[in-house]
């Protein structure tokens, strides 16, 4: 039995790769033992004890006559038939090269594109660019991109409304679309862009001026058995008079012409009458069923001909799925039963505290809660009351933690749960807090494992509340699908494990919270 070894200086591979390499080498014909380990003294000692002859090796080069190996060098040792050993070592080096970095193995890497024009030169078929630069540069980049003949998804915010209007007019004149600025989500031909979820493809097309609103509708469509043809974001200012709803109108035209889209859904906060009339007029002439949700607007006043008004995002998704399946639209459900076993609120516990990462979820929550209570919020909805201090709740409070006030200098709360966790700890100190209302957004772009961040915070919050003789009730919903990178089922399981009550939608969660408060104060 012979032994042969090779030292690869300063070669790092992670543990899994080294173990896989050892195992692969040991399976080669003629090889009885193989080991790929870092060249530490104890590992050398172990190899010697294993009968692997590495006598020519010396730690740290203390003896210049011997080949030196150090703790940062990779040592590969193979034992077996003498004739098989050189081939095995060559195989090991080839495997390391194959999984190694191009630069380490001598390959020349092509320089990555430094501009949209360079990228387009490499990929001439591309017809959409996603721009995510600081706002001050975004409009210029978008304009250059439009002039190159590309559609634009403009993730950047802090682009002025006049610049937005200019970009959208240029795009319209060129037969292109600008999704954004501040466009956080889109699904184009099944490809999620920015914050978006993995949903089934199907016959429902959506155009949305609200990011999480569009995410919620696409997710609920998926959960209700439907599918999405395209989901086009427009940015939240698109329906302002100065911009004129140009992107929503263009998106509506695309979906009207798209043979794969059977039902169209439009999502926005209520626009001015002038803009609403333009959009509804175009929707009527599409010849396809169009579900319209202008959050906070009177849904019945929208309904007529091929237009179906919806009150909530959930209603919009349900209507769209029914229409796509040629079913009679099912009536909106407003009744949410209180699940058994929830703890009894202590006297004095009377307020809802909603902490949202999705702006549209906050908007819808404020809208629905206001039906029966006065609500303080940093999102102005109808008669909602302003907060004296956004960092401190008063009465029923619903907060959009994605507000610029909270995100200045830190990532968005869909990515970074710090702020929400701190705020939860703050809320549970308040003896008047009765129900904590949350959203959890999954999908590309969002936090990789929200439950891992939230669960310990909720367990701690429950302990604090219960130690103070109060009940801890947390209600929320997950905007996500099983196909999302985080996995809906595992996230739900982890959150339910903390006692959190999960509903199927934001609207249901809000109504349940409202119901719990109503029962307790009845």
Partner 1 sequence: MSLALATEHPVKLPVIGSHRELWAQTIGCRVPRGSQSGRVDAVFEHACNVALYSGELVVVLGCRAGKVAHGIRLTHDYRFDQGLRRGMPVRLGPDRIAFGNGHLTGLLSAARIWTPALSPGMFEWSDHSRSALSQVRDLLRDYAASSGSEFLAVVLDLNRSETLLAAMVLGVLPRLAMASRSHDCNETLSLLSQLIGLGPGLTPAGDDFIIGWLAGLALSAKAPAQLSFLQAMCAGIENLTQATTSVSRAHLHDACAKMFSERLSDLCVAISKGEPTAMLESLVAAQVAVGASSGADAAAGLMFALPPCGPIESEFA
List the interface residues with partner 1, window 1-40 (CB under 8 A): 12-16, 18-19, 22, 35-38, 40
Tell me: does residue 42 bind partner 1 (CB under 8 A): yes
Q: Which of 415, 397, 411, 408 is nearest to 355 (CA)?
A: 397
Nearer to partner 1, 159 or 513 (CB): 159
CB of 37 to partner 1, least distance (A): 5
Per 3-state DSSP, what percentage of the chain is helix, strand, and coil (rounded to 5)?
35, 20, 40
122 CB burial (10 A radius; 0-12, 13-18, 19+): exposed
Tell me: does residue 409 bind partner 1 (CB under 8 A): yes
Strands across the sheet containing 263-268: 191-194, 185-188, 228-233, 201-208, 263-268, 290-294, 307-309
Binding residue (CB under 8 A) for partner 1 from 31, 89, 167, 455:
455
What is the C-alpha separation between 480 and 261, in angstroms, rounded? 22
Range 356-395, binding partner 1 (CB under 8 A): none
Nearer to partner 1, 14 or 65 (CB): 14
Binding residue (CB under 8 A) for partner 1 from 177, 280, 290, 438:
177
Tell me: does residue 123 bind partner 1 (CB under 8 A): yes
Residue 31 pairs in a beta bridge with 80
Tell me: does residue 489 bind partner 1 (CB under 8 A): no
> Is residue 274 within a helix (H) or strand (E), and if so which, with residue range?
helix 273-284
CB of 97 to partner 1, least distance (A): 13
Binding residue (CB under 8 A) for partner 1 from 102, 304, 348, 518:
102
Nearer to partner 1, 16 or 386 (CB): 16
CB of 426 to partner 1, least distance (A): 17
CB of 35 to partner 1, least distance (A): 8
Tell me: does residue 405 bind partner 1 (CB under 8 A): no
The piece of 125-133, 216-224, 361-369, 378-386 that touches partner 1 (CB under 8 A) is: 125-133
Q: Which of 406, 433, 430, 404 is nearest to 418 (CA)?
A: 406
Nearer to partner 1, 42 or 64 (CB): 42
Range 469-488, binding partner 1 (CB under 8 A): 485
Q: For residues 89-121, b (16+ Cβ closer than 10 Å) or e, as one string?
A: bebbeebbeeebeeeeeeeeeeeeeeebeebbe
Radius of gyration of the chain (CA): 29
Tell me: does residue 415 bind partner 1 (CB under 8 A): yes
Nearer to partner 1, 50 or 140 (CB): 50
Tell me: does residue 194 bind partner 1 (CB under 8 A): yes
| Total residues belonging to the chain | 522
CB of 133 to partner 1, least distance (A): 6
DSSP string, 70-133: -TTSEEEEEEE-GGGHHHHHHHHHHHHHHHS-TTTTTPPPPPPP-SHHHHHHH-TT--EEEE-S
Binding residue (CB under 8 A) for partner 1 from 71, 162, 339, 518:
71
What is the C-alpha separation between 183 and 176, in angstroms, rounded? 16
Binding residue (CB under 8 A) for partner 1 from 64, 83, 189, 347:
189
CB of 16 to partner 1, least distance (A): 4
What is the C-alpha separation between 451 and 191, in angstroms, rounded? 25
Tell me: does residue 228 bind partner 1 (CB under 8 A): no
Residue 4 pairs in a beta bridge with 78
Nearer to partner 1, 218 or 397 (CB): 218
Binding residue (CB under 8 A) for partner 1 from 32, 63, 72, 429:
72
What is the C-alpha separation between 301 and 295, in angstroms, rounded? 13
Report how many residues bind partner 1 under the rule CB under 8 A: 74
Nearer to partner 1, 18 or 321 (CB): 18
Binding residue (CB under 8 A) for partner 1 from 9, 56, 411, 518:
411
Binding residue (CB under 8 A) for partner 1 from 420, 447, 470, 477:
447
What is the C-alpha separation between 509 and 511, in angstroms, rounded? 5
Nearer to partner 1, 63 or 301 (CB): 63
DSSP string, 452-511: HHHHHHHHHHHHHHHHTT---EEEEEEE--TTSTT-HHHHHHHHHTTT-EEESSHHHHHH
Range 251-280, binding partner 1 (CB under 8 A): 254-255, 257-258, 260
What is the C-alpha separation between 187 and 320, in angstroms, rounded? 17
The piece of 160-168, 193-201, 374-382, 505-513 that touches partner 1 (CB under 8 A) is: 193-201
DSSP symbol at 308: E
CB of 121 to partner 1, least distance (A): 13
Residue 80 pairs in a beta bridge with 2, 31
Range 129-148, binding partner 1 (CB under 8 A): 130, 132-134
Nearer to partner 1, 94 or 124 (CB): 124
Nearer to partner 1, 289 or 445 (CB): 445
Count of helices and strands (H, E) across the chain: 17, 21
- Give how far Cα 221 sits from Cα of 191, 194, 236, 395, Å: 16, 19, 22, 34
Nearer to partner 1, 14 or 83 (CB): 14
């Amino acid at each position: 039995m012979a032994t042969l070894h090779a030292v690869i200086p300063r070669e790092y591979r992670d543990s899994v790769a080294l173990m896989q390499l050892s195992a692969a080498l040991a399976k080669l014909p003629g090889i009885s033992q193989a080991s790929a380990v870092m060249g530490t003294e104890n590992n050398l000692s172990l190899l010697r004890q294993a009968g692997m002859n590495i006598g020519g090796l010396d730690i740290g080069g203390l003896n210049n006559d011997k080949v030196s190996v150090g703790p940062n060098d990779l040592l590969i040792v193979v034992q077996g038939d003498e004739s098989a050993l050189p081939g095995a070592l060559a195989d090991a080096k080839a495997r390391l090269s194959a999984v190694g970095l191009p630069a380490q193995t001598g390959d020349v890497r092509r320089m990555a594109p430094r501009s949209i024009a360079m990228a387009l030169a490499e990929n001439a078929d591309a017809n959409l660019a996603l721009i995510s630069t600081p706002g001050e540069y975004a409009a210029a980049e978008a304009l250059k991109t439009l002039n190159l003949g590309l559609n634009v998804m403009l993730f950047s915010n802090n682009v002025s409304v006049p610049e937005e209007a200019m970009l959208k007019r240029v795009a319209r004149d060129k037969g292109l679309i600008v999704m954004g600025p501040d466009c956080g989500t889109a699904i184009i031909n099944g490809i999620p862009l920015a914050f978006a979820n993995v949903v089934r493809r199907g016959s429902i097309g959506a155009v949305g001026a609200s990011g999480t609103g569009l995410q919620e509708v696409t997710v609920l469509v998926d959960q209700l058995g439907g599918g999405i043809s395209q989901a086009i974001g427009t940015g939240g200012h698109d329906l302002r008079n100065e911009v004129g709803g140009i992107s929503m109108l263009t998106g509506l035209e695309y979906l009207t012409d798209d043979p794969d889209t059977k039902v169209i859904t439009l999502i926005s906060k209520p626009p001015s009458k002038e803009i609403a009339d333009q959009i509804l007029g175009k929707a009527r002439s599409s010849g396809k069923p169009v579900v319209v949700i202008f959050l906070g607007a009177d849904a019945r006043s929208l309904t007529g001909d091929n237009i179906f008004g919806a009150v909530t995002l959930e209603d919009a998704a349900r209507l769209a799925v029914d229409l796509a399946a040629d079913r009679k639209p099912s009536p909106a459900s407003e009744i949410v039963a209180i699940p058994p076993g929830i703890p009894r609120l202590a006297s004095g516990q009377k307020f809802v505290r909603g902490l949202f990462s999705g702006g549209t979820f906050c908007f819808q929550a404020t809208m629905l809660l206001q039906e029966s209570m006065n609500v303080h919020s940093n999102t102005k909805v109808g008669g909602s009351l302003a907060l004296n201090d956004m960092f401190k709740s008063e009465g029923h409070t619903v907060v959009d933690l994605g507000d610029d006030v909270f995100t200045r200098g830190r990532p968005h709360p869909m990515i970074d749960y710090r702020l929400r966790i701190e705020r939860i700890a703050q809320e549970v100190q308040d003896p008047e807090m009765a129900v904590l209302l949350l959203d959890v957004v999954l999908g590309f772009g969002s936090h990789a494992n929200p439950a891992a961040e939230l669960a310990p915070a909720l367990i701690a919050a429950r302990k604090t509340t219960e130690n103070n003789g109060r009940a801890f009730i947390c209600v929320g919903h997950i905007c996500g699908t099983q196909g999302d990178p985080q996995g809906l089922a595992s996230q739900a399981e982890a959150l339910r494990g903390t006692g959190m009550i999960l509903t199927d939608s934001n609207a249901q969660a809000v109504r349940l919270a409202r119901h719990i408060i109503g029962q307790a104060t009845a």
